[in-house]
Amino acid sequence: MTELSPRAAALRALHRPGDPLILPNAWDPGSARAVVAAGFPAVATSSAAVAEALGHADGEATPVAEMFAAVGRIAAAVPVPVTADLERGYGLRPAELVERLLAAGAVGCNIEDSDPRTRELYDVEEQADLLAGIRAAAGAAGVDLVLNARVDVHLRAYGPAEGRLAEAVRRARRYRAAGADSVYPILLADPEQIRQVVTEVDAPVNVMARPGTPTPGELTALGVARISYGSGLYAAARARIVGMLAAIAAGHEAFPTGEEAR
Each residue of 168-200: pLDDT tens digit?
A: 999 999 999 999 999 999 999 999 999 999 999
Q: What is the pLDDT of residues 217-226, one digit of tens each?
A: 999 999 999 9
The per-residue pLDDT for 2 is: 67
Q: What is the pLDDT of residues 64-113, one digit of tens each?
A: 999 999 999 999 999 999 999 999 999 999 999 999 999 999 999 999 99
pLDDT band at 254 (very low <50, low <70, confident <90, very high): confident
The per-residue pLDDT for 261 is: 52
Whether residue 258 is predicted with pLDDT greater than 90 in this model: the reply is no
Distance CA 182, CA 201 (A): 10
Q: Averaged over 14-32, what is the pLDDT? A: 98
Q: Averaged over 38-44, what is the pLDDT? A: 98
Whether residue 259 is predicted with pLDDT greater than 90 in this model: the reply is no
SS in 3 state form for the chain? CHHHHHHHHHHHHCCCCCCCEEECCECCHHHHHHHHHCCCCCEEECHHHHHHHCCCCCCCCCCHHHHHHHHHHHHHHCCCCEEEECCCCCCCCHHHHHHHHHHCCCCEEEEECECCCCCCECCHHHHHHHHHHHHHHHHHHCCCCEEEEEECCCCCCCCCHHHHHHHHHHHHHHHHHHCCCEEEECCCCCHHHHHHHHHHCCCCEEEECCCCCCCHHHHHHCCCCEEECCCHHHHHHHHHHHHHHHHHHCCCCCCCCCCCCC
Nearest to 98 by CA among 128, 51, 131, 62: 131
Q: Residue 206: what are its φ and ψ, rounded to 5°?
A: -100, 130
Q: Averaged over 53-61, what is the pLDDT? A: 96
> Residue 133 in contact with residue 91, Cβ under 8 Å?
no
Domains identified in the chain and CATH numbers: 2-230 (3.20.20.60), 232-262 (no CATH)
Residue type, 246: A
The per-residue pLDDT for 255 is: 79
pLDDT band at 1 (very low <50, low <70, confident <90, very high): low
Whether residue 256 is predicted with pLDDT greater than 70 in this model: the reply is no
Whether residue 25 is predicted with pLDDT greater than 90 in this model: the reply is yes
Share of the chain above pLDDT 70, in %: 97
CB atoms within 10 A of CB 39: 7
Whether residue 260 is predicted with pLDDT greater than 60 in this model: the reply is no
Whether residue 55 is predicted with pLDDT greater than 90 in this model: the reply is yes
pLDDT band at 262 (very low <50, low <70, confident <90, very high): low
The per-residue pLDDT for 150 is: 98
Residue type, 198: V
The model carries a pTM of 0.94
pLDDT band at 253 (very low <50, low <70, confident <90, very high): confident
pLDDT mean across residues, the chain: 96
